Each structure stands twice: as C-alpha cells, then as structure tokens.
Amino acid sequence: MKEKVFEFLMTIPKGKVVTYGQIAEFLGNKKAARAVGNILHSNPDENKYPCYKVVDGNGNLSRNFAFGGIEKQKEKLEAEGIEVNNYKVDLNKYKWRIIK
C-alpha cells in the first residue's frame, strides 16, 4: 500500500488537494484514511512525493506535517495558488475530483 500511496501523490494536479479518505478510497479501502496518514508521515522525499497536498476531510492542514510543520504546509499550498484561511482550505474550490 505504501508504494501506491506515494505513486498517487505524484498524480495530484497543481493547485489541487486531496483528503486522506480520498486516497484510501481510491486505493480500495475507504476505512484506511488513518493508515494513509501514517504512510505520509514516513515520506522519504517531500519534493518527489508532494504530501503537503493532503488535508483532512474538513480541509484542515496537518499540525504534524513532516517537513516543517503546519506553517510549511501552508506556505507550500499557497505557492501553488491555494488559498489557506485559518489553516484550512476550501474543499469545494480546491479538492481534486478523482476519476478512476
């Protein structure tokens, strides 16, 4: 599953985010959102695997973002043109609608 999560990260378009649950569902197990989060925390390469594009089901950023904390995640998202307000993104506007 780990490799599939990292492969998936590379498909997220610029200016879009996904949720942990979306990744879990895409990989075939809707209930594996927490496992996805744990996998992302072990990301070996933040530049190759853009885990900063993953938020929770309400659009909240991760307090434990592995590469510099929540401020760094906010900075990376904003660099892609994603608006972040109170450490939250508007999923109606920025959530990637995944098509299998």
Q: Which of 12, 24, 32, 51 is catalytic?
A: 51
**Is 66 marked active-site?**
no
List, as one string, the DSSP characters of 11-63.
TSPTT-BEEHHHHHHHTT-GGGHHHHHHHHHT-S-TTTS-GGGEE-TTSBPPT
Q: Active-site positions?
A: 51
